[in-house]
Amino acid sequence: MIHTKTVAEQSAALRAGELSSTELTQACLERTEQHRELNAFITVDAERALAQAGVADERRTRGEAGPLTGVPIAQKDIFCTDGMLTTCGSRMLSNFTAPYDATVIRKFNEAGAVLLGKTNMDEFAMGSSNETSFFGPVKNPWQADAVPGGSSGGSAAAVTARLVPAATGTDTGGSIRQPAALCGITGLKPTYGRVSRYGMTAFASSLDQGGPMAQTAEDAALLLGVMAGFDPRDSTSMDKPVPDYVQSLNHDLKGLRIGLPEEYFGEGLNAEVATAVNAAIEVYRSLGAEVVRLSLPNSNLAVPCYYVLAPAEASSNLSRYDGVRYGYRAPEYTDLTDMYEKTRAQGFGAEVKRRIMIGTYALSAGYYDAYYLKAQKLRRLIAEDFRQAFEACDVIMGPTSPSTAFRLGEMTDDPVSMYLNDIYTIPVNLAGLPGMSIPAGFDSKGLPIGLQLIGQYFDEARLLNIAHRYQQVTDWHKRIPPGF
């Protein structure tokens, strides 16, 4: 059953000549077609994928293959891909074919990976459930009436159902880690600036960061090794050397100091989630780690802080969609102003409009100091909390999400409750730190539970090592939904 294999296992099979990339890609294409009910993909380009697979097989014959050469992956539909639709899950870009490759896409192409297709997502990455997509909601492979999390829900569902061994996502307030937790896979949000944002459609420019979503920490290490690195075309990209993430996976955890913030284990945390997270901590104790109790006193301010800053940046970034240059244009209008108004009214969904309005209000004269400037000051306090915490510990752990996957439609009329679903992930983005979610159990309904790991700046290698050692002694990451 080659589709159940990890990226590392598929790479080894290709290297051993047990199968070709063309055969592997064809198998993934067949599974994607077989499980269209998940709505995990917006675009699947079989012709392009098989052509890339053929090139990968030729590279391997010539001895030019790398670890990802010939391995099929999926890309979140937020990365511009030359000659392919890049919709961001929005009606506004439903007809937009990108004229160039995002840096992330280019790097995977250079590595020889096969692009199977573009995954469904919350519109312009705004959402925690993948229900705001113009192309319809994605379903959680564990239970069809549950959400997969968002905004990278399509990528999470595709990996969970083993339609592809790995995929990319983006994380602005938890949009890699939260769907990874709700679907039971491994997801990594790197340090801000570690992965280029060039060609990645902007939601909130000071928060957005691309990262890998895969079955295992080992696979995430392989993908991050391709994605990471300095890009002169991205002014926020950090010029730091990229380590060999795979080489550091098996370091001993003896003496590792795990910080447990009291704010992550209080009111609002589901009891079954708490039990699973505490059990995971005990596994780490058995591996030689020590536990340090600590506090992140300003973490309760992270959600209101985020929902001022992120909509403010979204208001600015989404002002470019006016129907003039590209994308959707209202079919009927009387003059230029009428075209702007009707295009944006028809092209954007309710959640995007809500955030644009909030952001525009926060940036308006008379409210800038009261809201936006104050939120920036709170952001600095939140980052300072983490700085002080890391003086006492090496990694911070806790739940990724306060609950397991909720039902489709359960929170669509209650945006505040939806926003609170990211209460443990948002502080990491505000501080620009790396964060990771790994499978750590299931609740009584059979839905996955995620454990969040938070590291110091550019400490992704340590996070991957910590996650990998846990996965060597547990099997949560190996569980596959029934029927897949």
Active-site amino acid positions = 76, 151, 175
Residue 55 has pLDDT above 90, yes or no: yes
Cα–Cα distance for residue pair 418/339, rounded to 1 Å: 32
Q: Are the C-beta atoms of 253 and 222 separated by less than 8 Å?
A: no
Among all chains, which residue has been given the structure tokens 């058995």?
286
Nearest to 395 by CA among 457, 319, 477: 457
User: Where exactly are the structural domains of the chain?
Assistant: 2-256
Q: What is the pLDDT of residue 419?
A: 82
| Average pLDDT over every residue of 293-318 | 96
Residue 423: strand, helix, or coil: coil
Residue 128 has pLDDT above 90, yes or no: yes
Q: What is the pLDDT of residue 102?
A: 98
Predicted confidence (pLDDT) per residue in 60-107, tens digit: 999 999 999 999 999 999 999 999 999 999 999 999 999 999 999 999
Predicted confidence (pLDDT) per residue in 167-220, tens digit: 999 999 999 999 999 999 999 999 999 999 999 999 999 999 999 999 999 999
Q: What is the dihedral of CA 289, 290, 294, 298, to 10 degrees?
A: -10
Check residue 483 and give left, alpha or beta (phi > 0: left; psi -120 to 50: alpha). left
Residue 416 has pLDDT above 80, yes or no: no
| Average pLDDT over every residue of 455-470 | 98
Question: What topology is assigned to 2-256 in CATH?
Answer: Amidase signature (AS) enzymes (3.90.1300)
What angle is formed at CA 108 by the lines to CA 6 and CA 25, rounded to 5 degrees? 50
Beta 114-119 vs 72-76: how paired, if at all? parallel
Cα–Cα distance for residue pair 303/299, rounded to 1 Å: 8
Q: What is the pLDDT of residue 417?
A: 79
Predicted confidence (pLDDT) per residue in 418-439, tens digit: 888 899 999 999 999 999 999 9
Q: Are the C-beta atoms of 227 and 210 separated by less than 8 Å?
A: yes
Q: Are the C-beta atoms of 7 and 224 separated by less than 8 Å?
A: no
Nearest to 355 by CA among 317, 301, 328: 317
Predicted confidence (pLDDT) per residue in 330-383, tens digit: 999 999 999 999 999 999 999 999 999 999 999 998 899 999 999 999 999 999
How many CB atoms sit inside 10 A of residue 297's CB? 14
Measure CA 356 to chain center: 22
Q: What is the pLDDT of residue 380?
A: 97
Among all chains, which residue has been given the structure tokens 């870009």?
93
Q: Are the C-beta atoms of 226 and 68 separated by less than 8 Å?
A: yes
Residue 146: strand, helix, or coil: strand
Q: What is the pLDDT of residue 366?
A: 86
Cα–Cα distance for residue pair 463/459, rounded to 1 Å: 7
Percentage, residues of the chain above pLDDT 70: 100
Q: What is the pLDDT of residue 411?
A: 87
Q: Are the C-beta atoms of 477 and 439 separated by less than 8 Å?
A: yes
Nearest to 14 by CA among 114, 133, 123: 114
Q: What is the dihedral of CA 431, 210, 134, 414, to 10 degrees?
A: -20
Cα–Cα distance for residue pair 273/356, rounded to 1 Å: 33
Cα–Cα distance for residue pair 29/8, rounded to 1 Å: 19
Residue 251 has pLDDT above 80, yes or no: yes
CA distances from 400 to 186, 187, 354 (A): 11, 11, 25
Single-letter residue type at 302: A
Cα–Cα distance for residue pair 223/455, rounded to 1 Å: 18
Q: What is the pLDDT of residue 415?
A: 81
| Average pLDDT over every residue of 447-463 | 98
Q: What is the mean pLDDT of the chain?
A: 96
Q: Are the C-beta atoms of 113 and 145 separated by less than 8 Å?
A: no
Q: 41-67 in b/e burial notation, b at 16+ Cβ within 10 A?
A: bbbbbbebbbebbbbbbebbeeeebbb
